[in-house]
Amino acid sequence: MVSFGHGTTGWQENCGPSLSVSLLGLDTVVNGFIERGYAVAMADYQGLGARAFIPTVTRRPLGST
């Protein structure tokens, strides 16, 4: 099992890798793990892909990271 944490992809609605067919260009990395027999989990950051304000760019969530 691989938990893959992608880098910051932006803050707009379309910046969530799960909304992109190519996982915003990370598909080759993820497929490399899968081809080697790993299960891969890659979650979007809280709020990515939503029309609401993204809480990960405010001080309260950042203060606990």
| pLDDT tens profile 5-29 | 877 776 666 777 888 889 888 999 9
Contact 60, 40 (CB under 8 A): no
From residue 50, alpha-carbon distances to 46, 55, 61 in Å are: 9, 11, 17
Residue labelled with tokens 């067919």: 21
Q: How many CB atoms sit inside 10 A of residue 16's CB? A: 21
Contact 9, 48 (CB under 8 A): yes
How far apart CA 54 and CA 26 sit, in angstroms, is: 22
Reported pTM = 0.65
